[in-house]
Structure 1
Amino acid sequence: MADILLIILSAIFGIMVIVASVYFLIYYQHPQDKWVAWLPKVVVVSGLTLSALNVFVLPLDVANQNGRIAASGGIPMAELTLALNLTSVFLFLVGVPFTMFYYEGADDSDESDEKKKSSPSQVGYALKWLIPTLIFTGGIVGVMYWQLGYAEIEVTRLTGQLTKGFDINVDYCAPVAGVAVCTRQVGYRYPQVSWIVYTVALIGLIGWVVFAIFGGAGLIAIPVDMIQDFQHRPKPITSAEYAERKKAIGQQAELLIEVGKNLQEELKVASRGGSRMNRRFRQLRTKENEFRKDTLILEFHYRRLESSYKAQGGNILLQYLGFVGGCFSAVISVIWIIHIALFLLPTMFGATPYSLFLNEFFANVSPVPFIGTAFYAIFTFYLLLCVVKGNSKLGMRIVFITIHPLRLGETMMNSLLFNVGVILVSSLSVSQFCTLAFSRYAKYTASGYLFGVQIQKLKNMQYVYVGFVCAFLGVAGAMIGWIIYKPRSKQRENRMNFKW
């Protein structure tokens, strides 16, 4: 029998997630995008909603299962989980790229001449880039599914002699004349998985790569940056200091303006060469990424200068709240590292975990309404926040990564779309990661079956996820070493040292 209360609460929660996604869009969008660009806005809201639902499907699955083998809540969680994952894959592969190309086509039509446009409309421009990408991706998925689309499950075969009746005593398997009567053989079965599950698994690998690299970096960068931002917060300055610093920023701004004009002309010439994939155009795109990063650094220093003089250091209450948030995030990061070391890694290597840790904690707080879900949300959404932070942190150091910062009331639609794409594909890996990390808390769930039995057991994939978890910790450790090697004063984003 279905749990009516659980269904009603799930529906209310889904509505709340949609409302929160709309508010996120409203507060972050740039004023230029108000009342325009409706298609990108629909994609942003849909992507954020799906990301939240992907993460929250596990506690719903636990509540629906109620610790029993047979689901007591009556909600078909296997179908619901697979539907959410497949919709996320579609939006990541089709919705977000199409909208970004569509939005880019609008920008190109404003900036370029008619000869440069190879498509008569924004839709044509978007399809020109999307269709080849989908064909290439579909071909890879199809070939890999044809060759490797089955799971490798270890099974044990027990054989023994026939006996009359149903009563078997303890001597049934005792050796007779030194010959074993019962035998035990370990082997493997290779059941075929559905193409839907395999597609979700393969696209989810992209999310795992993003999560392992950016999430590991963000796990350390969030608390360190928040605490250092408080430590090096803007201080009140005199008018003479303000004038001197503003003059220095103005000189750097003039340099970047001149560089930007030259770079724009070079890009126009290179794009007329025929293909946007030629070597010269790619070099200029890399140079453009570096230029954008320098403009963001210059803007950061200008905002900091204005806060020091006009706001006399800014709102001290918000700064202290940031410090408290940094301390809290440091605790969450340490707890995650301890949980991975004590429970997740031993479990993935087939050993007995040293402690259930967070599994035991969630099992104890889950009976209290909303408390268990709230704690789960804190730990899981923190991982998504780590991915976004890690992307911006590493983006300043890796040449080919484009920076798309999120700023209240100042985020352009293409930056929102990019970040939603990152969050969406990462939500698949985070949900799978949490299924592993909280496997004792989430026992008998459809999520555990989908990932732990089908996806994780795919042929040649058993140790891939172990590698991703180790890489997650490895990147976090490397980030600690990098922060020690290059303190705040030597980091690129805190210096106005533009080499043009």
Structure 2
Amino acid sequence: MFLFVLFRSVWKRIKGALLWVITTAIVIGLLLGILYGLVGKVDFTVRHLSSSTTTFPSTFTAYSRNQPCIGSASHQCSAYSASTASEKTWTMHATFPEYVVALATIVGSVLFSIFGGVGIACLPLGLIFSFIRRPKAVITRSQYIKEATELGKKAKELREAADALHQEERSGSKGRKWRKNVKAVEKELLLLEDDVKALEEVYPQGEKAETSWALTVIGYLAKLVLGVLGLIVSVAWVTHIVIYLLIDPPLSAFLNEVFIKLDNLWGLLGTAAFAFFCFYLLVATIAGAMMLGLRLVFITIHPMKWGATLMNSFLFNVGLILLCSISVIQFCATAFGYYAQATAAQEIFGHTLQSLRGIKYLYKYNVFQIAFVAFAGLTFVYYIAFGWRRRKPSGRFQLSS
């Protein structure tokens, strides 16, 4: 009897989940089909050119930089001297997979502009300021007891608040205030865990206490080194975006030329550097999501901690990586267009995506690149102003009434 009741309960949940998945898939499929039929077209602007002919010359001494074209009176070729009336627009349907990738790229680019812009600055600066805020020495036993007592009181308050929220949930009063209090308890719990970890760092215990303190010191030195290297990469990224993408015409190909010169030194060296910059951009996006998730109330907190990460946090961050990875590919294909020319990524993200109706204007006016640089600048100013400060205790925790 017990197995029958258990099987019935599990089957009910599976059936409900399948119903939601199938309904969601049908709705999304219909929306994509309608949008693809209406605006899933690519517009290419071309010119109809014509030029005169002449006998094949016996020598080419008549041609120079000042006289590059056919005809004694021509100093420019037909592509330069053609009138605007020669411009025509070719319209063709994009393939359905390309259109789905384009829509996913738009959604991912919005998140990427925010999280990536914040992360490109907070990733290296967070490591550097973590070294600046590092504990300078081990505390005494009396100080440890005092701090541990305060943390114990804070843990008791959070336990009482969690029990009160659990009682509200069982009574069925899960309103807006209840969700706000749950987020507040989750945030305070994460901060409490950080405080406990910081206390364990400054007062290592056990037979290997001296070894633990030495490893702590080495760890903060490693953060400083990685932070400085990351800051160099972040500055190179932002500089490249400004001088190659935002300024028209570009001042320099910058990193594109660096990759090409590295390829000349060794075949895979430029490719490895290209992959490193792309991977760094993706890691910076995840770092930005972590930072904003811990500081903004309206974003669900999904922390990634060694040995203490919940399954829903894993799923959230995997989904974020998958969604933003498409935008990272598109962003890198645009930023490194000179190096990645004549590739499949450049064809999809460089030509088709930037010529798609309704979407091309976002890339024509560099909306996402400008937002990326703006968020990076704001984050840099924030860290310079407040990043070096230690976090003060928030005091007694109370639920909002």
Work out which of the residue numbers 474, 478, 481 in structure 1 matches 2:378.
478
1:137 aligns with 2:28: yes
Bigger radius of gyration among the two: 2
Match of 1:298 in 2: 192
Match of 2:140 in 1: 238
Q: Output one character per residue of 1:79-133: Cα deviation in whole Å (capped at 9) or x when no partner.
A: xxxxxxxxxxxxxxxxxxxxxxxxxxxxxxxxxx99xx99735533433443343
1:451 aligns with 2:342: no
Q: 1:157–1:256: structure 2 CA closer, same or farther, 3 Å change rule?
A: same
AA partner of residue 266 (structure 1): E
Identity of aligned residues (%): 34
CA contact (8 A) 2:330 2:349 kept: yes
1:341 aligns with 2:239: no
CA contact (8 A) 1:340 1:437 kept: yes
Aligned pairs for 1:352-391 within 5 A: 352-367=249-264, 368-391=266-289
Work out which of the residue numbers 308, 333, 339 in structure 2 matches 1:441.
339
Work out which of the residue numbers 216, 221, 244 in structure 2 matches 1:315.
216
Q: Give 1:429 shift.
A: 0.5
Q: Give 1:193 shift.
A: 0.3
1:226 aligns with 2:127: yes
Q: TM-score scaled to structure 2, two decimals?
A: 0.82
1:419 aligns with 2:320: no
Match of 2:62 in 1: none
Cα distance in 2 for partners of 1:451, 1:338 equals 22
Match of 2:368 in 1: 468
SS of residue matched to 2:360? coil
Cα RMSD of the aligned pairs, angstroms, is: 3.0
Aligned pairs for 1:45-194 within 5 A: 120-158=11-49, 170=71, 185-194=86-95
Work out which of the residue numbers 226, 231, 236 in structure 2 matches 1:325.
226
CA contact (8 A) 1:157 1:184 kept: no
Match of 1:80 in 2: none
SS of residue matched to 2:47? strand
Q: TM-score scaled to structure 1, two decimals?
A: 0.67
Unaligned residue ranges in structure 1 (runs of 5+): 1-112, 175-179, 272-279
Q: 1:139–1:265: structure 2 CA closer, same or farther, 3 Å change rule?
A: farther
CA contact (8 A) 2:122 2:379 kept: yes
Q: 1:132–1:286: structure 2 CA closer, same or farther, 3 Å change rule?
A: farther
Q: 1:183–1:197: structure 2 CA closer, same or farther, 3 Å change rule?
A: closer
Cα distance in 2 for partners of 1:284, 1:127 equals 29
Q: Give 1:166 shift.
A: 9.5
Q: Give 1:225 shift.
A: 1.0
SS of residue matched to 1:325? helix
SS of residue matched to 2:48? strand
Cα distance in 2 for partners of 1:359, 1:122 equals 53
Q: Output one character per residue of 1:7-32: Cα deviation in whole Å (capped at 9) or x when no partner.
A: xxxxxxxxxxxxxxxxxxxxxxxxxx
Unaligned residue ranges in structure 2 (runs of 5+): 58-68, 76-80
AA partner of residue 228 (structure 2): C
SS of residue matched to 1:356? coil
Q: Give 1:145 shift.
A: 1.3
Q: Give 1:187 shift.
A: 3.1
CA contact (8 A) 2:49 2:82 kept: no
CA contact (8 A) 1:152 1:190 kept: yes
Cα distance in 2 for partners of 1:394, 1:495 equals 20
Q: 1:269–1:481: structure 2 CA closer, same or farther, 3 Å change rule?
A: farther
Q: Give 1:143 shift.
A: 2.3
CA contact (8 A) 2:293 2:302 kept: no
CA contact (8 A) 2:123 2:287 kept: yes
Q: 1:270–1:470: structure 2 CA closer, same or farther, 3 Å change rule?
A: farther
SS of residue matched to 1:366? helix
Counting matched residue pairs gives: 366
Cα distance in 1 for partners of 2:299, 2:98 equals 30
Work out which of the residue numbers 128, 132, 155 in structure 2 matches 1:253.
155
Cα distance in 1 for partners of 2:83, 2:33 equals 44
Cα distance in 1 for partners of 2:92, 2:73 equals 33
Cα distance in 2 for partners of 1:325, 1:448 equals 31
Q: 1:360–1:183: structure 2 CA closer, same or farther, 3 Å change rule?
A: closer
